[in-house]
Structures are given as structure tokens and as C-alpha cells.
Amino acid sequence: MIITAIGDVHGCYDLLTSTLKTLPDTDELIFVGDLIDRSPQDRGDEQVVKLVRDMQSRPDYYGFDTVTVLRGNHEQMFIHAFEDGDTLCWNLNGGSYDFFNYARTDPSVVTWMKSLPLHALRGDYLFVHAGVRPGVPLEEQEDEDLLWIRGSFLTKPHGLPYTIVHGHTIQDDDAPVYTDGRIAIDLGAFYTGNLGTITLDVPN
């Protein structure tokens, strides 16, 4: 099975649509989270979310068997902002009030974000937004770590029997970065104009 993973989109709608045109034949497309915030274009968050939801609901129209979308920390921040009414943290991290108002008119956006899984295990590859807590079995990982971790995950062997494909931490490179047991695919699309992708041949 051919799987392509896409790094943090952050509202880069035009970049996402142009990147999709360049992908090789792919059975499953996986977004590793952070579809929204810091968008360099007007209503980019809204456009990205609409497109990705449509891709997920009818993947065959876009040439895939399956489209999987993981929740990132920016989706999590937005959920909290929307439900609690405290938008300060989310806004300081690139949140857009245009997107907030869009979600008010279509609350299913928030319901959808809350339904998104925090990881996807495919063969020997674990797809997750931020990473994992080293030395902790997958079934015991905390949501907070899957969404937010950097430090220990990036500097220590994680100890899980998988190669972990993740976003969240922007790489100072123009291509995914391979380290021991990890592949980092966040290339800072919102300011570099480079949306990270990786295509893997994963045994069924």
C-alpha cells in the first residue's frame, strides 16, 4: 500500500492544492494535523478545512482510497477557544477570527475536529502530530504528548517498534528529515512556501 503523508498545512490553501497535483499514485493520504492557523492568505484556514473534509468524505473523487486526518495542537487550541470562549492563547498562536466566525456559522467544523484521531498506525509506521513520550507504550501515551511534545521525543530514542512520521516541529531543511526512528515532515509551509510530504510503501 502506498501512503503519502502531508505535514502541517497551516491554512496554505494554494500551496496545498498545488502540492496535491504533484503527488505520486497513492492509496492513502494522511494529514498529520495543524491544518489551520498562521495562514498567509485570506480565509485560507476555511478553504483548507473545506477541501480536506471533502477529500475525507469522498476520497475516490480525488484519486485516493482513503484520506485520514489527524488532530494537531492547533486544532486542539481552536476547539478549546471555541468551546470555552477564551481565544487569547489560540489567537497568539496564529488563530484567525475569520475562521472562528466561519465555525460559528457551521459548528460541524468543531464536531469534526473533535472526532479526529491522534495517531494512525500503518505497518511499521506510526503517524502522529507531535511525537510520543519515550519509553511509554503506544496505548499508554498521553494526548498532551501526542499533540505537543518536542524535547525528549526529539533528543532520545523513543523505544517504540515503529518509525514515527510527525509534524509540529519545523525543520531547517527543504525536505523531510530522517533521524533514528523518526521522520519529520513539517517544513514551515506558512513562511517557507514548502509543504512537506513523504511517500512510503507500506506492506498491507
Mind listing the pLDDT tens digit for each residue in 122-176?
A: 999 999 999 999 999 999 999 999 999 999 999 999 999 999 999 999 999 999 9
Using alpha carbons only, give the angle 177, 178, 181 rounded to the nearest 5 degrees: 140
Rounded to an integer, what distance in angstroms lies between the CA atom of residue 70 and that of residue 72?
Answer: 6
Q: Are 94 and 10 in contact (CB under 8 A)?
A: yes
Q: Evaluate whether 181 touches 163 at the Cβ level (below 8 Å).
A: yes
Q: How confident is the model at residue 44 (pLDDT cuts 50, 70, 90)?
A: very high
Q: Which CATH superfamily is domain 2-201 in?
A: Metallo-dependent phosphatases (3.60.21.10)
pLDDT in tens, 58-115: 999 999 999 999 999 999 999 999 999 889 999 999 999 999 999 999 999 999 999 9
Cβ neighbours of 115 (radius 10 Å): 9
pLDDT of residue 85: 87
